[in-house]
């Protein structure tokens, strides 16, 4: 009880600071309401900690308080970033940033407020006139020669959330050493330090001209324009799930040459409350139900979806029984990499200096496809900023041809340095056309990949633990897995434990230890068994959950065996999760 009283007293003291004249009247009234409430739960959750500007930026529930997304927490981030940019780029005559936002409630408010803060710090701000997809922000940073960029978005999180992602001059999210240095600057900022009112002449509005430049680049992603022309009437259903893809993704599909695009009118409505879904995440089956219903109605060849900020894509196709099924993110990435490498090989464009990148929790089949085709392969931490970092390190030496991760993200070209659902949706439609040209469906193409390169089955299990107690429980779970790793998983002996916090891989059978080649550490554990099973354990950096990524490997003799092999793999994964008490 004493500890609880200590927390409550600390929280009340922090909240009282928000009653000062530095905060607007609306904010002060809401803070007072929280202080007057007999139940202190909401007050504590709003103030028990500061919303961290982490290596991925800010993300949190909107509201008043230090642990919430509001103009003051977002403003501190912008002021801290401004301070850092002025230090690093002091030698430049002008510092420039791009500002974008998604469809979420308050996203426009936060983006306009950020533009004013940059301007107040003497930094030129390019502010988009309306919502735009994340990949276009990344592109604009490079196109305009900016030193940084931000987008106000909470990606696929529920409607209560908003967030703030920061980019560096190469268009990628910020990595070391800049990430930690910016965090240090943000931590120094007090509300009194935030310059909210700036010189409006330093704010330039971006519109259709940038869209045109972006779409011209997106068109260059096409590898088989002749196949698209043959199958331009492919029936494609697309939904933005109320988000930023509503204009740019249909435009990209048309730029590729596709003419038969069906929308889902209810979900074309831009709305931060996401009225037709519980969660605007194409990873979740429910979010794609309306699009699949439309696909059944029009007998579509392909269903595409994007999340609120237009960086993740969802894909659904008919299986061998004529039923629409959603590909998981591993399968989507697999299909992309297979297609890109196959087409390059077919046209004699594999020069031997190409490379692909995946994240460590993504299917190992991607590595197998790359290696068997003589393409260099890199494994990185979760997050496209790490894929972008590899591209930056190899710029001018090797040619990037694709990279992805299991969480429904892919980046088919390096003019964008983040997940790119705009280019990826258009390229996926082209892949379906290519498969059709060979007399097969995308589903059959996927099974053929398994037959050729080996079978893989994946499942993600997320355990949600909210609030302060939840964060502590997640931390304890990681400690337990480190000190007591499982000895057997799914009937197969544990062979390798990779700990990315220590960057040591240990063969538990031989005792041999080897260094893991990564630039930085991360709170991730991986367990590999003798039969090729891989379990990755990772606390989410943006949500109150711990994630368990399961992958079991096997062989597929023919398409006809798929259902039986997949069912057996599912049983094995479920047994493993049970062994882990999940």
DSSP string, 9-66: HHHHHHHHHTTSTTS-HHHHHHHHHHHH-S--HHHHHHHSSPPP-BTTBEEEEBSSST
Domains recognised in the chain with CATH numbers: 1-48 (no CATH), 68-206 (3.40.120.10), 214-453 (3.40.120.10), 457-579 (3.30.310)
- The number of beta carbons lying within 10 Å of the beta carbon of residue 536 is 23
Residue 149: the pLDDT is: 98
Judging by beta carbons within 10 Å of its beta carbon (0-12, 13-18, 19+), is residue 286 exposed, middle or buried?
Answer: exposed
Q: Which of 46, 107, 111, 155 is catalytic?
A: 155
- The number of beta carbons lying within 10 Å of the beta carbon of residue 462 is 12
pLDDT in tens, 385-397: 999 999 999 999 9
Instruction: Give the residue-averaged pLDDT of 353-380.
Output: 97
- Computed over every residue of the chain, the mean pLDDT equals 95
Strands (E), 409-544: 409-411, 455-464, 488-489, 492-499, 504-507, 513-515, 525-529, 534-539
Instruction: Give the residue-averaged pLDDT of 341-363.
Output: 95
Instruction: Give the residue-averaged pLDDT of 65-72.
Output: 97
| Confidence category of residue 3, pLDDT binned at 50, 70, 90 | low
pLDDT in tens, 216-257: 999 999 999 999 999 999 999 999 999 999 999 999 999 999
Least confident of 134-148, 470-484, 562-576: 470-484
- Residues 6 or more apart whose Cβ sits within 8 Å of residue 387: 357, 359, 380, 403, 405, 411
User: Cα–Cα distance between 384 and 400 in angstroms, integer?
Assistant: 14
Residue 483: the pLDDT is: 94
Q: Is 347 among the residues known to form the active site?
A: no
Percent of the chain with pLDDT over 90: 92
Name the residue among 336, 406, 341 with its Cα closest to residue 370.
341
Name the residue among 281, 329, 290 with its Cα closest to residue 308.
281
User: Cα–Cα distance between 158 and 168 in angstroms, integer?
Assistant: 27
Residue 470: the pLDDT is: 85
Better pLDDT: 117 or 176: 117
User: Cα–Cα distance between 443 and 159 in angstroms, integer?
Assistant: 33
Per-residue DSSP letter, 208: H
pLDDT in tens, 29-49: 999 999 999 999 999 999 999
Residue 542: the pLDDT is: 65
pLDDT in tens, 266-304: 999 999 999 999 999 999 999 999 999 999 999 999 999
Name the residue among 117, 107, 194, 119 with its Cα closest to residue 154.
107
Instruction: Give the residue-averaged pLDDT of 568-581.
Output: 95
Residue 401: the pLDDT is: 98
Contact (CB, 8 A) for 436 and 260: no
User: Cα–Cα distance between 537 and 393 in angstroms, integer?
Assistant: 28
Residue 2: the pLDDT is: 45
Which phi and psi angles does 479 have, rounded to 5°?
-60, -45
- The number of beta carbons lying within 10 Å of the beta carbon of residue 29 is 12
Instruction: Give the residue-averaged pLDDT of 14-27.
Output: 96
User: Cα–Cα distance between 101 and 110 in angstroms, integer?
Assistant: 8
- Is the confidence at residue 335, as pLDDT, over 70? yes
- Is the confidence at residue 537, as pLDDT, over 80? yes
Whole-model pTM: value is 0.94
Q: DSSP letters along 118-151, please?
A: HHHTT-EEEEESS---HHHHHHHHHHTT-SEEEE
- Is the confidence at residue 1, as pLDDT, over 60? no
Omega prior to 295 cis, within 30 of 0: no
Contact (CB, 8 A) for 309 and 133: yes
Burial string for 131-159 (b: 16+ CB within 10 Å, else e) reads bbbbbbbbbbbbbbebbbbbbbbbbbbeb
- The number of beta carbons lying within 10 Å of the beta carbon of residue 184 is 13
Contact (CB, 8 A) for 300 and 288: no
| Confidence category of residue 467, pLDDT binned at 50, 70, 90 | confident
- Residues 6 or more apart whose Cβ sits within 8 Å of residue 240: 246, 249, 267, 268, 305, 306, 310
């Amino acid at each position: 009880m004493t500890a609880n009283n200590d927390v409550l007293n600390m929280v009340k003291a922090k909240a009282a600071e928000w009653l000062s004249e530095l905060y607007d009247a609306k904010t002060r009234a809401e803070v007072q309401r929280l202080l007057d409430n007999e139940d202190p739960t909401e007050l504590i959750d709003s103030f028990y900690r500061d919303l961290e500007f982490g290596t991925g930026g800010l993300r949190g529930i909107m509201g008043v308080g230090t642990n919430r997304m509001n103009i003051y927490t977002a403003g501190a981030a912008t002021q801290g970033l401004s301070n850092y940019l002025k230090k690093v780029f002091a030698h430049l005559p002008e510092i420039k940033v791009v500002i974008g936002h998604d469809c979420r409630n308050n996203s426009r408010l936060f983006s306009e407020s950020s533009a004013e803060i940059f301007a107040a710090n003497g930094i030129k701000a390019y502010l988009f006139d309306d919502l735009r997809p994340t990949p276009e922000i990344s592109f604009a940073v490079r196109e305009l020669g900016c030193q940084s960029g931000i987008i106000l978005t909470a990606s696929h999180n529920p409607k209560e959330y908003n967030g703030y992602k920061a980019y560096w001059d190469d268009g990628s999210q910020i990595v070391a050493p800049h990430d930690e240095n910016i965090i240090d600057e943000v931590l120094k900022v007090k509300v009194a330090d935030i310059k909210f009112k700036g010189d409006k002449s330093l704010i330039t509005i971006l519109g259709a001209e940038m869209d045109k430049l972006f779409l011209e680049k997106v068109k260059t992603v096409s590898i088989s324009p002749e196949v698209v022309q043959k199958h331009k009437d492919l029936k494609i259903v697309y939904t933005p799930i109320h988000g930023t893809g509503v204009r740019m993704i249909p435009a990209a599909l048309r730029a590729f040459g596709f003419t038969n695009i069906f929308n889902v009118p209810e979900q074309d409505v831009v709305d931060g409350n996401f009225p037709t879904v519980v969660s605007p995440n194409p990873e979740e089956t429910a979010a794609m139900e309306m699009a699949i219903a439309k696909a059944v109605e029009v007998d579509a060849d392909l269903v595409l979806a994007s999340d609120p900020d237009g960086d993740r894509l969802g894909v659904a196709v008919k299986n061998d029984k004529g039923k629409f099924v959603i590909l998981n993110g591993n399968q989507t990435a697999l299909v992309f990499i297979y297609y890109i490498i196959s087409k390059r090989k077919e046209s004699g464009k594999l020069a031997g200096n190409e490379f692909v990148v995946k994240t460590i929790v993504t299917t190992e089949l991607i590595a197998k496809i790359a290696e068997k085709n003589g393409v260099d392969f890199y494994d990185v931490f979760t997050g496209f900023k790490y894929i972008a970092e590899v591209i930056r390190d190899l710029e001018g030496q090797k040619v990037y041809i694709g990279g992805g991760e299991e969480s429904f993200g892919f980046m088919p070209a390096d003019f964008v340095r983040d997940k790119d659902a705009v280019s990826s949706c258009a390229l996926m439609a082209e892949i379906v056309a290519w498969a059709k040209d060979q007399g097969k469906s995308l589903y059959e193409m996927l099974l053929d990949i398994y037959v050729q390169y080996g079978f893989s089955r994946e499942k993600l299990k997320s355990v949600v633990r909210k609030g302060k107690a939840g964060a502590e429980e997640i931390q304890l779970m990681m400690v337990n897995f480190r000190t007591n790793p499982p000895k057997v998983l799914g009937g197969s002996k544990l062979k390798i434990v990779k700990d990315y916090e220590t960057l040591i891989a240990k063969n538990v059978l031989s005792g041999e230890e080897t260094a893991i080649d990564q630039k930085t550490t991360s709170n991730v554990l991986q367990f590999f068994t003798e039969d090729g099973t891989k379990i990755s354990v990772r606390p989410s950096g943006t949500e109150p959950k711990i994630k368990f990524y399961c992958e079991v490997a096997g062989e597929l003799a023919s398409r006809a065996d798929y259902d039986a092999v997949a069912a057996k793999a599912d049983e094995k994964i479920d047994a493993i999760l049970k062994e882990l008490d999940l």
